[in-house]
Chain A
Amino acid sequence: MIHKLDARRMFCPMPVIRTQDKIKELAVGDLLEVTSTDPGALSDIPAWCRINGHKVVDCREQDDEVIITVEVCSE
């Protein structure tokens, strides 16, 4: 199941915190698409995923936004 998280106009670490909190509500295998206007999210969300056992399946910049899709891989 694909879920969306609007983290626009937030600056890191807030997009990371919102991602972390949202993933707690999701099931293993779910996808979360995070949209952020902070380019720092490009490094911070993947770093958070690496250390917490989740997988970044897509990471792209579109206009002035960063869109990162995360697969929930652990409880």
Chain B
Amino acid sequence: MTTDTGSEIVLSTRALTKHFHVGGGFAGRPSRVVRAVDGVTLEIRARETFALVGESGCGKTTLGRVMLRLQEPTSGEIVYDGTELTGLGEGEMRALRKKMQIVFQDPYASLNPRMRIEQILAEPLRSHGYGTPAEIRERCAELLELVGLRTQYLRNYPHQFSGGQRQRIGIARALANKPDFVVCDESVSALDVSIQAQVLNLLADLQDQLKLTYFFITHDLAVVRQFADRVGVMFLGRLVEVGTTEEIFARPLHPYTMLLMAAVPRPDPRARGGERPMMQGEIPSPMALPPGCRFHTRCPFARDICRVEDPALQNHAGHTVACHFPLEN
């Protein structure tokens, strides 16, 4: 890996779970449970980029939000920098939030259209008591420069910027209070490729400069391979495989990881994959999980045990995988 990630753990979760209740309450009908995050245990190391990949509905966004306690977990633990977060009161959590921030996907929806850029950047500073109005103004200018925008834009409104520039503003806002842990939720997914590369380069620069740890949520495997140090693959609320980026891409052990990678269209017409392995069918509903391994209904290698016994994450050949029959490579 090119970045010097420490071995120190900055954030960890243990059996983290978030269930949602939907429907019910009418004519005595029972509500159903969506197991959006269903027992996730992971460790994120200081200054690394940990990518969480998965398809829509797998729970990756919910996991990111629950980790920051933007949503309350149903059960499980979150330890940030030695402090267990789930038991903290609102006041203690507020102080920690300065250090834990999030950059959202949609640079159009996540900035208030009626606020000038200066107000957008000043808001988190003011709410955490950053300093005098003059100091706040100075910090806003500093933040814009940090993300590669000119300070004269402070007086402008969001609609006056392009998508890439807005995402830079979203990043500047997240960095206002000097966090060290940043969740990037599909932060480059809405951008055109030429702009996406610019924003990824900015994120890499900021990480080096400010010693940031990224929890990088995305569905884009190509971005993961080029940007992340370690990867967790999520399927229906569970991590099914975790390892270093090179390990996972060079030797995927879980059939889901392998099929996900095979599905990515390659920008090379000579590599056309008419005969590539392909996942059949559709993702099961998170309200009606199949028994046994959650992936067995789509897995080309499923055997009897997969239909009855839920495999646990285990160490296997250098990374962890939740599969009864990890792939041989």
Same complex origin of A and B? no
Chain B residues within CB distance 8 Å of chain A: none
